[in-house]
């Protein structure tokens, strides 16, 4: 019995390994076969290889492999343009703090208002820009910043082209 158990475990391990190898070969039967050219000393550049095979799309279309999907390189959207155009006017608030204390106070007020902002570093000055459709919220932010003696400008935003 001991002798049978001694050979049983390696046989089971070998059978499992053989099953895994056969399973992997079975699920991937169309693996590309590498064949040597007429002259092994010739070096083929990528341009020469492209002429031989063609583009990769034509290569995959000629192999007729199932389960391959071409990548999407064009998307068409159909929009319902019926009804009235409800374009919202966008406003931009620009804050140019003169010192680091003013910058810190402006950032704290922006965190309280939960408005997204962008910080830009131009030369020696930081510029905070806030874009929003709510003009009243931006105007209240301007008045809060004026209490801290921070200058801010509010203007309608037009996209630069």
| Domains of the chain, first to last | 91-156 (3.30.70.2030)
Convert the pLDDT of each residue in 24-60 to its tens digit.
888 876 656 655 555 555 555 555 555 555 566 666 6
**For the sheet containing 91-95, what is the strand order?**
118-122, 125-132, 91-95, 152-156
CA distance 155 to 161: 18
Convert the pLDDT of each residue in 78-125 to its tens digit.
777 666 555 678 888 888 888 888 888 888 888 888 888 888 888 777
In order of 81, 117, 126, 149, the CA distances from 97 in angstroms are 43, 14, 7, 10
- Residue 121: DSSP 8-state: E
* pLDDT for the residue numbered 161: 44
The two three-digit tokens of residue 127, written as one number: 């510029």
């Amino acid at each position: 019995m001991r002798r049978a158990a001694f050979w049983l475990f390696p046989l089971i391990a070998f059978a499992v390994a053989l099953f895994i190898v056969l399973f992997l070969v079975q699920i991937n039967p169309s693996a590309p076969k590498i064949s040597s050219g007429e002259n092994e000393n010739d070096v083929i550049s990528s341009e020469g290889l492209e002429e031989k095979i063609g583009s990769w799309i034509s290569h995959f279309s000629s192999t007729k492999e199932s389960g391959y999907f071409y990548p999407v390189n064009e998307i068409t959207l159909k929009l319902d343009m019926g009804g009235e155009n409800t374009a919202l006017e966008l406003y931009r608030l620009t804050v140019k703090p003169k010192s680091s204390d003013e910058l810190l106070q402006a950032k704290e007020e922006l965190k309280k208002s939960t408005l997204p902002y962008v910080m830009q570093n131009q030369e020696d000055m930081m510029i905070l820009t806030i874009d929003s459709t709510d003009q009243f919220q931006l105007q209240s932010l301007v008045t809060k910043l004026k209490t801290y003696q921070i200058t801010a400008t509010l203007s309608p935003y037009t996209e630069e082209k």
